[in-house]
Structure 1
Amino acid sequence: MQNTVRQRRLAREIRSLRDAAGWTTTEAAQHLSWSKSRLNRLETGVAKATEQDVAEICDVYKVAESVRTALFQLVRDGTRRGWWTAYSDVFAGSYVGLEDEASLIKEWGVQLVPGLLQTEDYAREIISTGLGNGDAEQVYRRVMARMARKTLLGRPNPPRLHAVLDEAVLHRPIGGPEVMREQLRALTIAARRPNVTIQVLPFGVGVHAGMDGSFILLEYTDPADDVAYVAGTAGDVYVENPEHVTRYKVSFERICNAALAPDASQAMIAAAMKE
């Protein structure tokens, strides 16, 4: 899985250049004097292409200068350090880098408030429990990393966030009444942002399209880059196949249609806050 959308896009462009040249992977590798596996790794994004790799490809495929320049820029942008590198001890996977470049984030939450909407105390309770009430410094680092993630929604030209929460999320007493009350209040405040939409799926709906569990959709200006993400105890799953991503999009739309409208959802959150 690529660390950034730009790196994934670069892999796709390298593959497209070979297709345009009319060569098979074997033929292209021979022209490049590379092994077939090396070219496959670059085209699938398993390996990150360097500027030297791109220069050789452009020479052999006889690529126009404007395309060459654009590809070099993708290489440079793809290796750019993001804010999350300061928390490399916390963020081990690709998700945060992908989230940072998304234009639209869609999240279906069954158990918890989405990370981008969590308060510090709510996040601390979840993280501490997940670590087995472990090392205080480790808990602190993870909480601060999650709070740093939240700044994504308030930066210039922020992504849009559309979160749908199961009603159970509003009633699960994480951290006690005061922590929960503050978390619900934070949801009502977040929903006032022009780039945030929050809906609640009430218990009364019964069976629905989100029964298989939580997931996140990361969408970009180019739909070919869209990714579905599912976190799990056995490891995180990134879904990139366009057909499979579309299935998640359809499921999310069905969940939205079954959920309360944003205004009615805010009323339900406010009522839960008073309990």
Structure 2
Amino acid sequence: MASNVNPTVRRRRLGQELRKLRELKGMTAEEVADRLLVSQSKISRLENGRRSISQRDVRDLCGVYEVEDHRIVDSLMQMAKESRQQGWWHAFGDIPYSVYIGLETDAASLRVYEPLVVPGLLQTQAYAEAVISGALPEATASDIEKRVQVRVRRQDRIIETRQPLRLWAVLDESALRRAVGGPQTMVEQLEHLMDMSRLPHVTVQVMPFTMGAHPGVNGQYAILEFPDASDSTVIYLEGVTSDLYLEKANDVQSYSVMYEHLRAQALNAGQSREFIEKIAKEFTRA
């Protein structure tokens, strides 16, 4: 279950509030940085939620913005304190995509397009281990095991009963045919994928090769939406050494429209299960 105090989401909300105060004051990030003798990039990272915010940062910024209402200052200071708490994923050590995990943990819905592999939230443990070890050939066995454990723990959002994550996944046919871990692993993975797709809050659609070019040919992406209206929708693009998070309205609109085209062109849920079952039988015969 998602935590009541998610440090990643708290950091984003606090950054948004600080940006609003700066804009109300009519100041640029560069002007604020000059006043505090810090870099402009620090101010931008604080406002974007990409950097942890200390209570001292909040105090200094409220001083620059001349915030006189102590209730506002106290509220922001409390958010700063909560944003520095550790999420469940910190127990696993340094996780490169910890920002994404924090967002996913608090999200109400997730729409994802995967062209190459089954989405992490729908992977079996054997498949996850094969994917991670194949993608990171120089990783140690302990690092692979840690990443697998994190991936399995993330799946709690799907199986929790009170407020499960609403997941919509569109998969390219290549994600189903790529023999990750061998035929037996693939059979188990595809059967698991069919089982998960029958959950009322999970929808799986397949984009077959016969569809040709489609709006997903540019690569994988995910759209995260949150229960609190004050939290902006986030577009997540996974990279090898760094990830990209897009929150501007134009970016969100473009990717959302593109996803609607993907859903319209892909096989529907029932057809997709039949398609997955057919490929599973092919692996069984193999």
Question: What TM-score, normalized to structure 2?
Answer: 0.83
Which residue is 1:254 aligned to? Answer: 261
Identity %: 36
Higher alpha-carbon deviation: 64-73 or 148-157: 64-73
Q: Distance in 1 between matches of 2:138 and 2:55?
A: 45
Q: 1:35 aligns with which of 21, 34, 37?
A: 37
Provide the alpha-carbon RMSD of the alignment: 2.6
Return closer, same or farther for 1:200/1:36 CA change in 2, 3 Å cut-off. Answer: same
Distance 1:127 1:225 in 2: 30
Corresponding residue SS for 1:233: coil
Which residue among 245, 250, 260 is the counterpart of 1:243? 250
**Equivalent of 2:23 in 19, 36, 44:** 19
Q: Please list every run of 5 or more consecutive structure 1 residues that lacks an aligned counterpart in the other structure.
A: none
Residues 112-121 or 256-265, more deviating: 256-265
Distance in 2 between the 1:177 and 1:47 partners?
A: 43
Which position in structure 1 is the counterpart of 2:117? Answer: 112
Q: Deviations over 1:50-109 (max 9, x none)?
A: 223334544653353443343233223312211100112344542211211211111101
- Name stretches of at least 5 consecutive residues in structure 2 with no aligned partner: 1-6
**Bigger shift: residues 36-45 or 123-132:** 36-45
- The answer (yes or no) to whether the contact 2:8–2:49 under 8 Å persists in 1 is no
Match of 2:151 in 1: 146
CA drift of 1:185 comes to 0.8
Residue of structure 1 in register with 2:4 after alignment: none
2-structure distance, mates of 1:20, 1:97:
29
Which residue identity does 1:40 align to in structure 2?
A: I
Stretches (4+) displaced over 4 A: 22-30, 44-47, 56-60
Q: 2:89 touches 2:98 (CA, 8 Å); kept in 1?
A: no
Change (3 A) 1:262 1:70: farther
Paired residues of 2:107 and 2:225 also in contact (CA < 8 A):
yes
The structural deviation recorded for 1:46 is: 5.3
Whole-angstrom distance in 2 between the partners of 1:248 and 1:223: 20
Q: State the alpha-carbon separation in 2 of the partners of residues 252 and 159 from structure 1.
A: 18
Q: What is aligned with 2:219?
A: 213
User: Following superposition of structure 1 onto structure 2, how do residues 8-87 of structure 1 map, counting pairs within 5 Å?
Assistant: 8-23=12-27, 34-35=36-37, 37=39, 40-41=43-44, 42-45=46-49, 47-58=51-62, 61-87=66-92
Amino acid of the structure 1 residue aligned with 2:278: A
Aligned residues: 271
Contact between 1:230 and 1:236, CA under 8 Å: does it hold in 2? Answer: yes
